[in-house]
Amino acid sequence: MATYRVLVSDPISEKGVDALRTAPEIQVDVNTGLKPDELLAIIGDYHGLVVRSQTKVTPEVFAAAKNLKAIGRAGVGVDNIDRNAATDHGVVVMNTPSGNTISTAEHAFTLMLSLARNIPQAHATVIAGKWDRKSFEGVEMNGKRLAILGMGRIGTEFAKRAQAFGMHVVAYDPFLTAARAQGLKVELAETADLALAGADVVTLHIPLTDETNHILNKARLSSMNKGALVVNCARGGLVDEAAAKELLDSGHLAGIALDVYEVEPPPADHPLFAAKKAVFTPHLGASTAEAQENVGIEVAYQLKDFLVSGEIRNAVNMPNLDAKTLESVGPYLNLATALGKLLAKIGPGQVDALRVSYLGPVSELDTQLVTRTVLTGYLSGAHHEAQVNLVNAPAVAKALGLQITESTVAIATNWTELIEVSAVKGGETFTVAGTFFGNAPRIVHILGHNVETNTSGQFLFVENDDRPGVVGLLGSSLGTAGVNIANMSLSRNKSLSRAVTVIEVDSEPPVSLLETLRATPGILRVLSFGL
């Protein structure tokens, strides 16, 4: 019986679809070429969505996608998916970053060589019955200065091929270190401007963002050598097409090769199509049998593993949680959820900040993920309207103005290890903490009291003046109401003359009992909640 429905809305390899179909928990529908309103009409039925670049996953789609948990992008660029909307709606977005690297590097390299040797133009004349050996004199790539913007996966592969062709490679990438540049035998440019000045060829391998939009603008293109060639197999919008046209017309640029366009598909009368020395392909970088099989299979397994077992690989809007990490942090995540929920139940409302401290061996884990889990527990425990999950918890907290801080201490003094969660409000701190007894997670501290209780179940929390008779009253009242006590933890704070009782009960106490207890002199606070 399928539990999750997955829509494949762009063509992916048959092997990818088959990989999804092998999971009995998943029902797959392949429905490609949907118009935006057709997608809106059906997306509410699906828990998973698989796309390439054609499907535009807009905020409207997310608003209609009430059951959507994850989107798998069979490819690298996720610019067809509104990431902010995905995060706000708690939807994990995963891509398949490496499956099409080689194919795309090879395509970009092919574009460069075709451009240098006028391959498409020469081909057209031969098949038109002409034998023109004069019009198509090319240029060698050997010895030319090549600027690569973006030395990630594809840029690096391009560089290796260019070196084999005897090109001098200058690379700019904000994350390229001098040591790595040296290892790759490329000249490291400190800025894009420095990489481009005096270059004979430029190739782009960067994502399209607000910052990189029109990164190849008129000034940078003009700083290249006269006769320079431009290759873009990354994303349209990186090249200012109007500026490129101007510089091609003036003769400063010799040629341009594009696989991607500011608008896709580009209009038939695109101004650059008139350029004499140019090569255009319709976004074919990843279109090889190998790349499509790689990304199709990868995306299928990633989506399946997420839906069925909660593993998160290659997510672009949250930390990853692979099977190994899931195994090591799993028990801590349960404790973290309980602590977050508990603090939301017993702490004050409208707090300014949440502090999570990890003491002992737990401090060596991927605490980022555990903190997200605490926050998710806290926000869901506080009954926020938004459906809070690991993906959107930080965004929900930010919108609420709730500050999150995290600290780690290698050695815990009173416990082997401890997770402490504190809510801070107006300078006052409200803390709960938990640890493990063997493999069992336990809550060991509540608002200044040392207790010992379970992390899940139904609880009655009572704060009272420290005087005789209260425990007896609680026991007899619960007994009379037919509520069985599973566990009871008492803690007194002598200096405050206060006591706290945490009772784990087998069923929810009736409201009338809670009201009676609240009206009892000496009983200061009574809360009933589930964790």
Ligand X SMILES: O=C(O)CC[C@@H](O)C(=O)O
Ligand Y SMILES: NC(=O)c1ccc[n+]([C@@H]2O[C@H](COP(=O)([O-])OP(=O)(O)OC[C@H]3O[C@@H](n4cnc5c(N)ncnc54)[C@H](O)[C@@H]3O)[C@@H](O)[C@H]2O)c1
283 catalytic per annotation: yes
Letters for 38-67 (x = contact with ligand X by CB under 6 A, - = none) are --------------xx--------------
Comparing C-alpha atoms, which of 188, 154, 152 is closest to residue 172?
188
Q: Residue 116 Cβ, how far from ligand Y at the closest point, in Å? A: 19
Answer with the entry of ligand Y, ligand X, none that 381 interacts with (C-beta below 5 to 8 A by kind).
none
One residue of 100, 392, 455, 464 binding ligand X per CB under 6 A: 100
One residue of 61, 188, 230, 286 binding ligand X per CB under 6 A: 286
Answer with the entry of ligand Y, ligand X, none that 207 interacts with (C-beta below 5 to 8 A by kind).
ligand Y
Residue of 89, 107, 145, 235 with catalytic role: 235
Give 52 or 442: the residue with its C-beta nearer to ligand X.
52
Residue 75 sits in the site that holds ligand X (CB under 6 A): yes
One residue of 6, 50, 76, 279 binding ligand X per CB under 6 A: 76
Rounded CA-CA distance 414/416 in Å is 7
Number of shown-chain residues binding ligand X (CB under 6 A): 10
Q: What is the DSSP letter of 71?
A: E
Answer with the entry of ligand Y, ligand X, none that 52 interacts with (C-beta below 5 to 8 A by kind).
ligand X
Q: Residue 306 Cβ, how far from ligand X at the closest point, in Å? A: 19
Binding to ligand X (CB under 6 A): which residues in 486-515?
A: none
SS (H, E, C) 401-435: CCEEEEEEECCCCCCCCEEEEEEEECCEEEEEEEE
Residue 156 sits in the site that holds ligand X (CB under 6 A): no
Return the sign of the alpha-carbon dihedral for residues 44, 48, 50, 51: positive
Rounded CA-CA distance 12/312 in Å is 21
Give 101 or 422: the residue with its C-beta nearer to ligand X.
101
Q: Residue 155 Cβ, how far from ligand Y at the closest point, in Å? A: 6
- Note whether 324 and 364 are within 8 A (CB): no
Q: Residue 270 Cβ, how far from ligand Y at the closest point, in Å? A: 17
Radius of gyration of the chain (CA): 31
Give 120 or 207: the residue with its C-beta nearer to ligand X.
207
Give the Å distances, CA to CA, from 256 to 46, 169, 272, 286.
Answer: 42, 19, 9, 20
Q: Which DSSP string corresponds to 234-246?
A: S-TTSB-HHHHHH
Answer with the entry of ligand Y, ligand X, none that 151 interacts with (C-beta below 5 to 8 A by kind).
ligand Y
Q: Residue 291 Cβ, how far from ligand X at the closest point, in Å? A: 8
Q: Which residue, judged by CB position, is nearest to ligand X in the bound state?
A: 75
Answer with the entry of ligand X, ligand Y, none that 97 interacts with (C-beta below 5 to 8 A by kind).
ligand Y
14 catalytic per annotation: no
Three-state DSSP state, 354: strand
Answer with the entry of ligand Y, ligand X, none that 149 interacts with (C-beta below 5 to 8 A by kind).
ligand Y
- The footprint of ligand Y (CB under 6 A) covers 75-77, 97, 100-101, 104, 149-155, 172-175, 192, 205-207, 211-212, 233-235, 259-260, 283, 285-286
Comparing C-alpha atoms, which of 299, 335, 326 is closest to residue 432?
335
Residue of 60, 264, 293, 508 with catalytic role: 264
Q: Which residues are CB-contacts of 206 (< 8 A; sequence separation ≥ 6)? A: 149, 150, 152, 155, 173, 212, 215, 234, 235, 238
Residue 9 sits in the site that holds ligand X (CB under 6 A): no
- Note whether 437 and 415 are within 8 A (CB): no
Rounded CA-CA distance 319/163 in Å is 35
Q: Which residues are CB-contacts of 89 (< 8 A; sequence separation ≥ 6)? A: 62, 63, 65, 68, 387, 392
Binding to ligand X (CB under 6 A): which residues in 244-283?
A: 283
Q: Which residue, judged by CB position, is nearest to ligand Y in the bound state?
A: 152
Give 103 or 367: the residue with its C-beta nearer to ligand Y.
103
Q: Residue 264 Cβ, how far from ligand X at the closest point, in Å? A: 10
Q: Residue 314 Cβ, how far from ligand X at the closest point, in Å? A: 12
Give 106 or 504: the residue with its C-beta nearer to ligand Y.
106
Looking at residue 18, its amino acid is: D
Answer with the entry of ligand X, ligand Y, none that 425 interacts with (C-beta below 5 to 8 A by kind).
none
Give 236 or 394: the residue with its C-beta nearer to ligand X.
236
- Note whether 315 and 94 are within 8 A (CB): yes
Binding to ligand X (CB under 6 A): which residues in 384-443?
A: none
264 catalytic per annotation: yes
Q: Which residues are CB-contacts of 209 (< 8 A; sequence separation ≥ 6)? A: none
Q: Residue 77 Cβ, how far from ligand X at the closest point, in Å? A: 3
Rounded CA-CA distance 55/32 in Å is 9
Give 257 or 433: the residue with its C-beta nearer to ligand X.
257
Give 100 or 337: the residue with its C-beta nearer to ligand X.
100
One residue of 5, 58, 77, 454 binding ligand X per CB under 6 A: 77
Rounded CA-CA distance 41/517 in Å is 52
Q: Which residues are CB-contacts of 72 (< 8 A; sequence separation ≥ 6)? A: 48, 49, 50, 51, 94, 95, 96, 299, 300, 302, 303
- Note whether 299 and 10 are within 8 A (CB): no
Letters for 445-464 (x = contact with ligand X by CB under 6 A, - = none) are --------------------
Q: What is the DSSP letter of 267?
A: P
Q: What is the DSSP letter of 523?
A: E
Dmax (CA) for the chain in angstroms is 109
Rounded CA-CA distance 456/309 in Å is 21
Residue with tokens 């400190």: 190
Assigned token pair, 155: 């840029």
Give 159 or 356: the residue with its C-beta nearer to ligand Y.
159
Give 100 or 455: the residue with its C-beta nearer to ligand X.
100
Which residue ranges make up the site for ligand X (CB under 6 A)?
A: 52-53, 75-77, 100, 283, 285-287
Residues assigned a catalytic role:
235, 264, 283
